[in-house]
Structure 1
Amino acid sequence: MNILFIDCGISGIAGDMSLAAFTELGVDLSAVENKLKTVIQEDFSLSAKKVVKKGIASTELVIHTEEEKHSHRHYTHIKKAIEESGLEDAEKETALKMFEAIGLAESQIHNSTLEKVHFHEVGGVDSMIDIIGTAIAYHALNIEKVVCSPVAAGNGYIKIAHGLYPVPAPATLEILKNIPLRETDVQSELTTPTGAAIVRTLANEFGNMPSMKVQKIGYGAGTKDFITHPNVVRFVMGKE
């Protein structure tokens, strides 16, 4: 059995970090980009660069797009784009589950409905790439089981479209309901709504690294730098 262990107990998880980690496990980023272009009509391109985070060599995802960061799209727009795309059925299903997790959280917070949810922070091309790209990468590796560590979500405050919000952001915390969180003193957002949705959708169980023969290890880097720890998520692939 192919097992993926998501280690997000130190610096949380975000969509770009996830896709970057998958590339270190052997996923072809150009193949992911080609599939994404059947979903996303706006011009964009992807690349990956090697970085070192507090001594750990890792990969950072670089998205090139002319679209303004955090552009707005409705859940229904994104859903339609995925359903009418050239993705395989399993890829569509996983991507839709991720966006649905975010949409349900947003509708709960804003007292709205899934159909009327207007995405702010996760409605842009960059977030669509992170989420849908991660779904594509996940299915490329024939993973049969996903175990995730308790999630480091972060502390403090973050400025978003609606104003100054506590960390974890309300949407992130809503998505992470009934998922074990790890205490941290870091005053920053570590896990984003996209990262939370990825964990919510992919993980079969939560806990320590399972018994397995490790085959590949991937480190996906975030853009922030911290004094206390490397800002990376670690993906570990192995056989049961």
Structure 2
Amino acid sequence: MKIVGERKVKIAYFDCFSGVSGDMLLAAFIDLGLPLEQLSKELSSLGLDEFHLEASRVSKCGIFGTKLNVVVHENGHHHHRHLGEIVGIIGRSGLDDWVKDKSIKIFENIAAAEGRIHNLPADKVHFHEVGAVDSIVDVVGSVLAVRLLEIERVYSSPLPMGRGFVSTAHGMVPLPAPATAELLKGVPVHWVNSEKELVTPTGAAILAVLVSEFGYFPPVRWERIGYGCGNSDRKVPNMLRIFTGWS
């Protein structure tokens, strides 16, 4: 029986039926109602004067959601950064300490995972795709969205793993990508009949830090649902769905 006057907790549930990437996650938050202008204004404090955000409504298998593009300007060509540089960018920003700490932790985890794979200390890892402006925006923006939407606890479904290979800066690697596999140690996953990269390293790293518990729906009265669209078209909707509500 629910105690009268008991404080309600605002939660988010990530329904990763088609996987997760950083851009899908941030797009789903915008679809939930996070104002694009507010997000852009907060992210401008990173000092990355090299991009702007564009959101559009698109359909995946008849379901409409939000597709987000981080448009990098011509001078935004710096795609290769080390951990120290990214930590400095976040640390010098005007974001609040919780957002800074969680964002830095995500990049530290990526560096540690890449370091184990390539036999390097974390501070010597040379970020390629994850060091690009759009990936930094995806990571920090997703953490910031949790803060701005006043979400107190995050849950997620188990994550689907595709098979096959994916092209990276280091060449062709097996799926799940080695960094994704490292980042998801201890996280419940399941194999699906797909030769696509369903969970990216960026998506895995964000969830590994933000999610309190992986499993199926906790008791919740949801009030909003957002859909974030991926780049490709598949037999199933290439979307991430987020439910928010009260527990």
Bin of the TM-score, shorter chain as denominator length: over 0.9
Distance in 1, Cα, partners of 2:48 & 2:211 = 30
Shift of 1:104: 1.0
In the alignment, which residue of structure 1 is the partner of 2:176? 168
Give SS of 2:85's match: helix
Deviations 1:71-113 (A, max 9, x none): 1111110001100111111110111111112111111111111
Deviations 1:12-38 (A, max 9, x none): 100000100001222112211122222
Give SS of 1:37's match: helix
In the alignment, which residue of structure 1 is the partner of 2:66? 59
Q: Where does the alignment leave 5 or more consecutive residues of structure 2 unmatched? A: 1-8
In the alignment, which residue of structure 2 is the partner of 1:31? 38
Q: Which runs of 4+ in 1 moved over 4 A?
A: 67-70
The residue type paired with residue 77 of structure 1 is: E
**Which has the higher mean CA deviation after the structures are superposed, 192-201 or 65-74?**
65-74
The residue type paired with residue 92 of structure 2 is: E
Give SS of 1:38's match: helix
The residue type paired with residue 18 of structure 1 is: L
Deviations 1:106-145 (A, max 9, x none): 1111111121111012010010111111111111111111
Whether the 8 Å CA contact 1:70–1:120 is kept in 2: the answer is: no
In the alignment, which residue of structure 2 is the partner of 1:19? 26
2:71 aligned with 1:71? no
In the alignment, which residue of structure 1 is the partner of 2:113? 105
Number of equivalences? 238
Deviations 1:178-215 (A, max 9, x none): 10002211111011011001110111111101111110
TM-score normalised per structure 2: 0.93
TM-score normalised per structure 1: 0.96
Whether the 8 Å CA contact 1:60–1:220 is kept in 2: the answer is: yes
2:173 aligned with 1:130? no
Whether the 8 Å CA contact 1:40–1:125 is kept in 2: the answer is: no
In the alignment, which residue of structure 2 is the partner of 1:90? 98
Structure-to-structure mapping, 1:5-16, within 5 angstroms: 5-8=13-16, 10-16=17-23
Whether the 8 Å CA contact 1:74–1:117 is kept in 2: the answer is: yes
Structure-to-structure mapping, 1:219-234, within 5 angstroms: 219-226=227-234, 228-234=235-241
Whether the 8 Å CA contact 2:48–2:133 is kept in 1: the answer is: no
Shift of 1:50: 0.3
Distance in 1, Cα, partners of 2:23 & 2:77 = 14
Does the C-alpha gap of structure 1 residues 70 and 217 become closer, same or farther in structure 2, counting only changes over 3 Å? farther
Aligned-residue CA RMSD (Å): 1.3
Q: Where does the alignment leave 5 or more consecutive residues of structure 1 unmatched? A: none
The residue type paired with residue 48 of structure 1 is: A
Distance in 2, Cα, partners of 1:141 & 1:174 = 29
Give SS of 2:130's match: coil
Distance in 1, Cα, partners of 2:92 & 2:34 = 24
Shift of 1:153: 2.7
In the alignment, which residue of structure 2 is the partner of 1:117? 125
Distance in 2, Cα, partners of 1:219 & 1:202 = 18
In the alignment, which residue of structure 1 is the partner of 2:3? none
